[in-house]
Chains A and B, each alone.
Chain A
Amino acid sequence: MSQPIVLAENLGRDYEVGGGLFSKPGIVRAVTETSFSIEAGKTLAVVGESGCGKSTLARLVTLIEEPTAGHLRIGDTEATPENWKKLRTDVQIVFQDPYGSLNLRQKVGAMLEEPLKINRPEMSKAERQAKGREMMRLVGLREEHYDRYPHMFSGGQRQRIAIARALMLEPKLLVLDEPVSALDLSIQSQILNLLLDLQERLQLAYLFISHDLSVVRHVADDVVVMYLGRPVETGPKDEVFDAPRHPYTKALLSATPRAEPGGGRQRIKLQGELPSPLNVPPGCPFAPRCWKAEDICRSDRPRLEGQPHPAACHFPEA
């Protein structure tokens, strides 16, 4: 087994909210006790509904925000703020919205060269340009696009530019924060295939954040299902998809439309709302919406454990 590119142990991030002059600040636990590792050439998908901490996890791994608990190790280096500068070139991110993630006043070429300008000051202008043009070819853009502004491109092309920019520093890990959910269905598959192709060629590790399970099924090797900032089930893709152990995963899977006429499973409809992350119930966070919940679920928090893959549930499916 090879050395993982990224290793997270009990990673957590709290935010203080509110806290005016007279009120006590509340604490939102956006991410708690999340552990995972990704090897080169592999994809770990993080799924869950909105507000479950997926994007916060992405920001932690991309070294935009400092974790308030746990460890994060990238390559051989502990990712503490002192080391961020050194690790910048190893981790890059592609954002969800290709309309907000590109600077409208910057030409595509300048955008691609910027990371090199900052991190490889010894490179000459010609070298930078050559590299930028090569990267454009790699992501399927034409060379004459080099001197254009982002507003001249479609959403899919913009996302290709964003991917090219992220790859300019030759990172080992690419964080993909819902990279296709803002795109047309027909463009989605193009971008996904481009990502898979790049992964194979460059041996990239992907942290793939998504709420779209059919996309995850297409790209992932391993899956982490998150609920209210905690992983509730993790395992290899096939196992999680074919034999979900946590009721939440089951509900999530039943909600994806599938192209099987007449067949498919019964749709599980969840009752109630996601509890406020400011006020997480003491037991299993899923208990208020779970159809299997019993007293123990409301008092004791289940641990992430079990066979064949770990799930945080007192009554997992076999």
Chain B
Amino acid sequence: MADASSQIARTVPTRRAGRLREFWKYFSENRGAVIGLYVFAAFAMVAIFADFLAPYDPTTQFRGSELIPPFWQEGGEWAFPLGTDAVGRDMLSRLIHGARFSFFVGIVVVVVAATGGILLGLIAGFAPKWLDTLIMRLMDIILAFPSLLLALVLVAILGPTLLNAMIAIALVLQPHYVRLTRASVINERTKDYVTAARVAGAGYLRTMFVTVLPNCLAPIIVQAALSFSTAILDAAALGFLGMGAQPPTPEWGTMLADAREFVLRAWWVVTFPGLAILVTVLAINLMGDGLRDALDPKLKRS
């Protein structure tokens, strides 16, 4: 008996690591997700260390070096590996700094949308029926608009800056979080452990945030990962339409918009920002899928 108990005591620390290992086991079964994770990690690194990685300042214009092609093409220079744009700015430096903006947009939008959405969803899940109905119909109205159109209208009202674009995108993405949270809250709150917490004297706030919320987090985390890419994509779209970041900000969507007139003459000014958006969004989506496989107990095979 004593042997058995010391045995159990010794395995405790490894068990917690075991949870993480189990998560990794399910996550790594999906090869796309692992690739996505690596690309995302690289993207994050680039965003954080943009100042050290970029060879030039993203807004410096090199007179006399306008529209230089990438180095492997005729007329290309090693000084500008991915060429320059129409006013002589280094493409590589702009792309690297653009990663920082995209990352920033993703994080801010997800944090704002998730915080608001989780709060509203919790309230809707616990509130009396009339308030629940009010919140959910309001969210339905937001969802009824094409999301980009609604964001466009909001930015048009607030004024075209990157910050306003982020607010608009956060507002558009919010209903998804509200629905997701409310659904899991309603599912969880009928369970006995919630009743037990109430019998122990827990008030509404404690029941909502301490008892129920941690049990609803898994789908919300997945949603957060997936809407990170939506936010980047929407911000780029708004930038392209001139409603997001304004030039000379090296935001990928804005870069695309600036390069529109050179599509036929200088393919590199449109291709590289476009590729950057594509690769980032794809990587995050792949990662999100893997995250769902690993976190959703319904998909788990025992």
Contact = CB atoms under 8 A, between A and B. Distances in A.
A207 interface: no
Nearest to B8: A144
Contacts, number: 63
A85 B201 CA distance: 7
Interface stretch (A23-31, A88-96, A128-136): A88-96
B193 interface: yes
Contacts of A102: 193, 196
A144 B197 contact: no
Nearest to A151: B19
Interface residues on B, range: 20 to 34
Contacts of A97: 192
B193 A101 contact: yes
Interface string B169-199: 0000000000000000000000111011111
Contacts of B15: 152
Interface stretch (A13-21, A113-121, A250-258, A260-268): A113-121
A148 B201 contact: no
A101 B192 contact: yes
A148 B12 contact: yes
Interface string B205-220: 0100001001100000
Interface in A95-125: 95-97, 100-105, 114-115, 118-119
B197 A114 contact: yes
A91 B8 CA distance: 35
Contact of B195 (A95, A105, A147, A169): A95
B200 A95 contact: no
A97 B191 CA distance: 10
Contacts of A115: 200-201
A137 interface: no
B148 interface: no
A32 interface: no
B197 A105 contact: no
B215 A104 contact: yes
B199 A62 contact: yes
Nearest to A162: B196
A64 B202 contact: no
Given A89-B201, A118-B201, 10 more contacts: A63-B199, A88-B201, A95-B192, A101-B195, A102-B196, A103-B193, A103-B215, A165-B196, A165-B200, A169-B200
Interface of B: 5, 8-9, 12, 15, 191-193, 195-203, 206, 211, 214-215
29 contacts: A62-B199, A63-B199, A89-B201, A91-B199, A92-B200, A93-B195, A93-B196, A95-B195, A96-B192, A97-B192, A100-B191, A100-B192, A101-B191, A101-B193, A101-B195, A102-B193, A103-B211, A103-B214, A105-B215, A114-B202, A118-B200, A118-B201, A118-B206, A144-B5, A144-B12, A147-B12, A148-B12, A162-B196, A165-B196
